[in-house]
Chain A
Amino acid sequence: MLKELVEKKRYSFHKGFDDWRDAVRAACQPLIDDGAIKPVYPDEIIKKVEELGPYIVIAPNLCIPHAQEGVGVNETAMCFMKTEEPVHFDPDDPDKDARVFVVLASTDNNIHLQNLALLVETMSDEEKFAKILEANTPEELVKIEE
């Protein structure tokens, strides 16, 4: 999964963000640049989180920005981002901090489900996840899966 994302240039590394909204936008940027999603997609994600709370932070340090299928999405895709400093989604809850972001966009549910399965497999592996948290370059990301 990581290797494929690096090959497709669907990744970014950042120092940190004061506002989680900027983190979500930055995480989506490579997909906007290559046309997989429209700029409205991150806005949709942000709107949902403002309405419902930080449900996109699915595990400590892991955020999966995503919104409704099809809205502002041209292609089923994933995109990786890592920040050096934690991004806070809830100032009162450190469990909602995240440093690893994987944007999910879907138009095709079958491919999307395969992507999700890959994501779950990769991120559920504690050893791998620890290495992902340490990675600061695309080369280091690729190495994790070798």
Chain B
Amino acid sequence: MAKLKVIAACGSGMGSSQIIKMKLEKAFKKLNIDAEIYHTNVGDAKSNANNYDVVFCSESLVGTFGDVKATVIGLKNLLSEKEMAEKIQEKIIDKK
């Protein structure tokens, strides 16, 4: 699988998005997926979404992305590696 380009987004780009990035790095490593992870605010993430394969954000922000090409994955609990692993499995690995 080619290197996955991932962006983590939150309202300001400095809190939740960085937490998502930290947790995703662990989750992808455990699943042996080679991923490049960036973080930013939603506005920026939306305008650049087509340059990425996957967008991760808090569930409450999913709606702001509309119909971008990237797979948008909303998270309920940003601290749960279990939720991340399940969603990576379902929306990224199983889709390949």
Interface residues of A (CB under 8 A from B): 48-49, 51-60, 62, 64, 66-69, 90, 95-96, 104, 106, 112-113, 116-117, 119-120, 123-124
On chain B, which size bracket covers the interface?
20 to 34
11 contacts between A and B (CB under 8 A): A54-B60, A55-B58, A55-B61, A56-B16, A58-B77, A59-B78, A59-B80, A66-B15, A116-B15, A120-B23, A124-B79
- Contacts A53-B60, A90-B60, A120-B19 known; list 17 others, CB within 8 Å: A48-B11, A51-B11, A55-B58, A55-B61, A56-B15, A59-B78, A64-B15, A66-B12, A67-B12, A68-B12, A68-B13, A95-B76, A112-B14, A116-B18, A116-B22, A117-B22, A124-B79
The answer for the CA separation of A112 and B22 in the assembled complex, in Å, is: 13
Q: In the complex, are the beta carbons of A58 and B58 less than 8 A apart?
A: yes
- Provide the residues of chain A in CB contact with B23, threshold 8 Å: 120
Count of chain A to chain B residue pairs whose CB atoms are closer than 8 Å in the complex: 73
- Provide the residues of chain B in CB contact with A68, threshold 8 Å: 12-14, 41
Which 4 residue pairs of A and B lie closest in terms of their CB atoms, listed nearest first? Answer: A53-B60, A66-B15, A58-B78, A55-B58
The answer for the CA separation of A95 and B76 in the assembled complex, in Å, is: 8
The answer for the CA separation of A57 and B60 in the assembled complex, in Å, is: 9
